[in-house]
Amino acid sequence: MDWSRGNSLQQRILAIFSETNREYLRRWFRSPLVHNVITLYGVHVARYLPPLVVVPYLTRVLTPSGWGAVAFAQGFSAYLTLIVEYGFNLSATREVARARDNQEKLAATLSGVTGAKCLLAILCGLLSWLAGRWVPLFRQDPALLWAATFAALAQSFSLLWLFQGLERMKVVAALDISAKVLVSAAVFVWIHSPGDGWRVLALQGGGALLVVAVGFVLAYRWIPTGFPTRANILESLRMGWTMFLFRSSVSLYTVGNSFILGLFVAPQFVGYYGGAEKISTAFLGLFSPVSQVLFPRLSYLVEHSRDQARRLARQALAVMGTGGLLLGVTVFVTAPLLVRVILGPEFLPAVAAVRILSVLFLFVGLSNVLGMQWMLPLGMDYAFNVIILTAGGINLFLAVILAPRYAHLGMAAAVATSEILVTTMMFLWLRKKGLGLFSLGRNAGVEPAGVTIVAGSSCPGESTE
């Protein structure tokens, strides 16, 4: 045996545990970025662990048709939430991250966003009234409509954007965990028959409202109280416009698909798609903690250290891409087992939809980094919105063609196709501008000639008009 080689290997192993490396690991685990990611994974577990218990109960009690009606109403609720949130979860988060040490600016942002949301909530009330007159399912079950409206308004006033921008995610974790546990427990008490679907939405709204109330109490302990003025409301709406356009475009191929599908097929098929989407969403939520922590951090680093921002974005791309690929393969292989355990034997037609949606994991992971974590902090809002709007339009077009004929499978195929297009277009756009993360290592610290990037502006060389 070559003892010298063994001793060399032993020395290397010991070096790994040297005091210097131990100190490095301690600093790494104590960093706010890692700490916030770990905290948000706690939120994710709290958010999706109760549904792993509640969803099997609900799908069996409500049956595919009842579950489909709830999914349809949740899709409508998601659109209302989108209107009231108005993209503030991105635009206001970015503003708070940039001005976290300016109390006056934070107070103006909080009051302006809150005032804007109140105005948008009135608009949503009117839209719900119109939906009650025009949408057949809501005409038959008004309780389902107004429970969905209540849930939407309660969820849309969340202060996640504020705590995220301040990087105080422990607060969000504690509030979200408490609300999810309470709502999950209440489901077993209040939901007993297929006609109780409206109560699911009402309970979700009640839990969200509790979180909002506590969130505002805590927020005003840290930030001076300010009454919304016409000026800061208009400024908030102007600030959030591009992100609202982005969120609206994304909704065309994400949150409202069950609602779109329900306009063409029976609730039973909406139930199959809604069940498949629920499984997909639960796994996709594994990306959320990393995404929520990276966005304010990269928005800050782009302003103060472009090189550090670039390195962090490339690391995120590797992690999210690899994780997405592994998740996609896992869900595809285990789809029959997931459907049987989580949804029940009556939902076996959803297996194929789950497998189609498993394509999303890889491409969502990549597009999240390329778009939200890189294009937006660089201020490339215009190109970002064009890409998302294009993909959303394609999804809507495909849904109208495929859903009436192939029901839940057609909707799943439309969604998967749209996400692939989003990732491809982002990659090609960044490459065209010389800002692709795969090539930046050769030009570290150097921006393409003739290109000036200012965070918060539109794409380089493009007009926002």
pLDDT 10s digits, 210-255: 989 988 888 888 887 778 888 888 888 887 787 787 677 677 667 7
Same domain, 120 and 195: yes
Instruction: Identify the domain boundary among 207, 225, 251.
Output: 251
DSSP 8-state symbol, 440: G
Q: State the DSSP H helix or E strand holding residue 318, giving kind and residue range, or none if neither.
A: helix 306-338
pLDDT, one tens digit per residue, over 253-290 is 677 789 889 989 999 999 999 999 989 988 887 787 77
Give the per-residue pLDDT at 221.
82
Tell me if 437 is assigned to some domain: yes
Tell me if 4 is assigned to some domain: no
Instruction: Identify the domain boundary among 195, 229, 251.
Output: 251
The tokens describing 138, both together, are 């809501």
Please state, in angstroms and rounded to a whole number, the distance separating the CA atoms of residues 418 and 410: 12
Please state, in angstroms and rounded to a whole number, the distance separating the CA atoms of residues 269 and 403: 10
Specify the residue for token string 């503030």. 88
pLDDT, one tens digit per residue, over 394-403 is 988 999 999 9
Same domain, 306 and 350: yes
Is the pLDDT assigned to residue 461 strictly greater than 90? Answer: no
Please state, in angstroms and rounded to a whole number, the distance separating the CA atoms of residues 200 and 214: 22
The three-state (H, E, C) secondary structure of 367-405, written as one string:
HHHHHHHHHCCCCCHHHHHHHHHHHHHHHHHHHHHHHHH
Tell me if 345 is assigned to some domain: yes
Give the per-residue pLDDT at 218.
85
The tokens describing 417, both together, are 């196709």
Tell me if 178 is assigned to some domain: yes
Q: At 141, phi and psi to the nearest 5?
A: -135, 75
Its domain, for residue 465, covers 263-465
What crossing angle do the helices spanning 32-85 and 19-30 adopt, rounded to 10°?
Answer: 20
The tokens describing 356, both together, are 């189609």
117 contacts 150 by C-beta, under 8 angstroms: no
Is the pLDDT assigned to residue 122 strictly greater than 90? Answer: yes
Q: How many domains does the chain contain in total? A: 2
Same domain, 239 and 269: no
Tell me if 86 is assigned to some domain: yes
C-alpha 230: how far from chain center:
30
Same domain, 247 and 369: no
The tokens describing 272, both together, are 């199959």
Instruction: Identify the domain boundary among 195, 226, 251.
Output: 251
C-alpha 300: how far from chain center:
20
Same domain, 425 and 351: yes
Tell me if 2 is assigned to some domain: no
Instruction: Count Cα neighbours of 431 within 13 Å in the Cβ-side half-sphere.
Output: 7
Please state, in angstroms and rounded to a whole number, the distance separating the CA atoms of residues 303 and 123: 36
Please state, in angstroms and rounded to a whole number, the distance separating the CA atoms of residues 388 and 394: 10
Tell me if 103 is assigned to some domain: yes
367 contacts 422 by C-beta, under 8 angstroms: yes
Cα angle for residues 213, 217, 221 (degrees, 5° grid): 165
Q: For the chain, how long is the longest CA-to-CA vector?
A: 85
pLDDT, one tens digit per residue, over 49-73 is 776 788 899 999 999 999 999 999 9
Q: At 277, phi and psi to the nearest 5?
A: -65, -35
The tokens describing 130, both together, are 């119109």
Tell me if 21 is assigned to some domain: no
Same domain, 323 and 233: no
Same domain, 272 and 245: no
Q: Which of 346-360, 384-398, 432-446 has the lowest mean pLDDT?
A: 432-446
Same domain, 239 and 279: no
377 contacts 302 by C-beta, under 8 angstroms: yes
Same domain, 271 and 240: no
Same domain, 330 and 419: yes
Mean pLDDT of the chain: 81
Same domain, 90 and 183: yes
Same domain, 155 and 289: no
Region 90-117: mean pLDDT is 83
Instruction: Count Cα neighbours of 128 within 13 Å in the Cβ-side half-sphere.
Output: 29
- Provide the whole-model pTM: 0.72
